[in-house]
Chain A
Amino acid sequence: MSHDPLPLPASRDALAEDAELLLSGAADAAVAGRLSAVLAADGEARERFVALARLHGHLGEVGRRGAAGEPGTARILATEFPGEAPAPALRVVPRPRRWLGLAAATAAILALGLAVLSLAIVGQRTRELVPTVAVTNGGDVLRNGRLIPLARGLRLRAGDRVSVPVGAHLAIAFAGGRCEIGGASEAVVEATDRVHGRVVLASGSMSADVAGGDLFAVRTPDATIRLSDAAATIGVAARRTQVVVMRGAVEVATLDGAARTIGAGASWTSATLTEVATR
């Protein structure tokens, strides 16, 4: 859709400038005092300030989506500033990767499926309101450029990139369910609006068990898997996705917009690029 460009106002606006300083954490006591005086006296200024603060909050959500790679949002923010200096390199120690083939991924997600089933049987599902690490034996979270070791009780938040090394595993409890991320996996926690949980599985394998009417979605490079009152395992290897449904039914939507429902006991594997090209 084409739009007219949105010009920035040429004139300066003291209220908007002070609001920006306050909302960005750059205000000093003088700015806060000046803003307080204006807002105390002027109802219209209060309405404008609240509108700016709401906008700031929503921009934060847009930024989180963009950082998590949500396609539409990331595209909007994919811009270059003329002469923009490159981002300083993160001091993240690379870990050796072991690339899993689809067969290895299948074995991994079957193992995870068994783990989920056993969790359901013994009733160990917890009900955390925010995604919280329930079990871990290694791995870390990349948050705002800082590496945080995974530890039981750590609350995850939108934008967190979780890395689980080979041989380790991670269990995350969230509202209405629980998910397990297998070894050699990379996942990003996406914004939690509309649905209680959404994870981008970049590589590796994971499983999820979601109770009742709660929703949980897993996005992979070539599909989005939505679970409600269902359990499934999902594996990603060589940019192909495999889904095995353990309980209930899940919806799988591919990048071309096609959606299908996969029932308990059934599995689905995305087409290779070659298969897609020959259609």
Chain B
Amino acid sequence: MLSSVRPVATTAVDDDRTPLHHTPAADGPAGCQSDRSPPHFLSDPMQRDELLRLLLDRRGAILGYIGTILADRDAAEDVFQETLIRADAEGVRFDHAGHAMAWVRGTARNLALNEARKAHRRSVVLDEGVLDLLDRTWAAGDGTGDREELDRLEACLERLGPTARTLVRLRFAEGLDGTAIAVRVGKTAAAVHTSFSRIYKALAACMQGQPA
């Protein structure tokens, strides 16, 4: 169990809401090229496996987090995979899921910011101070695995009309951007983006059991 692992932090990681970039592995410059030695190592491979399962169980949420910095899905997937590999390679100890997710966000954030810089997209990323504030909100959802949310989301998607579902398919299954979707459905790109904002609102309200 993750909860049975002794806390080992060399810097303060006191609760789930601790800003993730305060975790040791994320203290280095962007890209996580920290010159500090890795904090601590798991000696029990089962505990390591449990960490990896935790991250895979929250893959959608983690990709959602990365997506706030790096909209390109391929690049976001690369960041997720790299984060997973670092979690295993560094074997950082966590005393509960909140610590693990904070570490993941810190590592993913640095990697994503580095990618955004390389892609000359840094100017379209939210301010770092805002990302700090958002991290606290993200931490509040760390106890929820993807499965529960995906089940609710699919139930809500079924209730969407065919036009909205087609837009979801084109964006998320076929990987088209707003401009390409606009060509496919004969709308302007602006209209497509407005439609998506309404779809998100309706789905978010549905998942919370509220009217849109």
Q: Which A residues fall within an 8 A CB radius of B? A: 3-9, 12-13, 16-17, 19-29, 31-32, 35-36, 39-40, 46-64, 66-67, 72-73, 76-85, 87, 129-130, 143-145, 155, 157-158, 175, 191-194, 196, 213-214
B52 at the A interface (CB under 8 A) = yes
Q: Hey, what's the 0/1 contact readout for B102-124 against A, CB within 8 Å counting as 1?
A: 00000000000000000000011
Interface of B is mostly: helix
B167 CB contacts on chain A under 8 angstroms: 81
State whether A175 touches B52 (Cβ < 8 A).
yes
A-B contact sample (4 more), CB < 8 A, given A50-B138, A63-B173, A79-B166: A20-B193, A58-B146, A155-B81, A196-B52
Known contacts A5-B161, A76-B158, A84-B166; A17 and B193 CB within 8 A of each other: yes
How many chain B residues have a CB neighbour from A under 8 Å?
Answer: 84
22 A-B pairs with C-beta separation under 8 A: A5-B160, A7-B212, A16-B198, A17-B193, A28-B124, A46-B133, A53-B64, A54-B60, A54-B61, A54-B64, A54-B149, A55-B203, A58-B60, A60-B73, A63-B169, A63-B172, A66-B169, A79-B165, A81-B162, A129-B88, A193-B56, A193-B147
Within 8 A of A (CB), among B138-177: 138, 141, 146-147, 149-150, 153-169, 171-175, 177
Complex: how many Å from CA A17 to CA B66? 19
Q: With CB as the reference atom, state the residue of chain A lying closest to B137.
A: A50
Complex: how many Å from CA A271 to CA B4? 48
Q: Which of B62, B129, B201 contacts A16 (CB 8 A)?
A: B201
Q: Which of B67, B137, B138 contacts A23 (CB 8 A)?
A: B67
Q: Which of A16, A61, A83, A213 contacts B146 (CB 8 A)?
A: A61
A193 CB contacts on chain B under 8 angstroms: 56-57, 59-60, 146-147, 150
Q: With CB as the reference atom, state the residue of chain A lying closest to B165.
A: A79
Binds A, one of B6-14, B17-25, B31-39, B180-188: B180-188
B30 CB contacts on chain A under 8 angstroms: none
Complex: how many Å from CA A73 to CA B185? 22
Q: Which of B52, B71, B74, B168 contacts A63 (CB 8 A)?
A: B168
Closest 9 CB pairs of A and B: A57-B64, A63-B172, A25-B71, A6-B159, A81-B166, A16-B197, A63-B173, A61-B60, A77-B169
Known contacts A54-B141, A59-B168, A79-B165; A20 and B197 CB within 8 A of each other: yes
State whether B197 touches A13 (Cβ < 8 A).
yes
A21 CB contacts on chain B under 8 angstroms: 193
Complex: how many Å from CA A5 to CA B184? 24
B5 at the A interface (CB under 8 A) = no
Known contacts A26-B177, A175-B52; A58 and B149 CB within 8 A of each other: yes
Q: Which of A51, A81, A175 has the most CB of B within 10 A?
A: A81
* Min CB–CB distance A208 → chain B (angstroms): 18
* Min CB–CB distance B180 → chain A (angstroms): 9
State whether A3 touches B59 (Cβ < 8 A).
no
A143 CB contacts on chain B under 8 angstroms: 74
State whether A6 touches B156 (Cβ < 8 A).
yes
State whether B198 touches A144 (Cβ < 8 A).
no
Q: Which of A46, A64, A194 contacts B56 (CB 8 A)?
A: A194
State whether A39 touches B134 (Cβ < 8 A).
yes
B201 CB contacts on chain A under 8 angstroms: 8-9, 13, 16
State whether A83 touches B185 (Cβ < 8 A).
yes
Q: Which of B64, B124, B175 contacts A58 (CB 8 A)?
A: B64
* Min CB–CB distance B75 → chain A (angstroms): 10
A67 CB contacts on chain B under 8 angstroms: 173-175
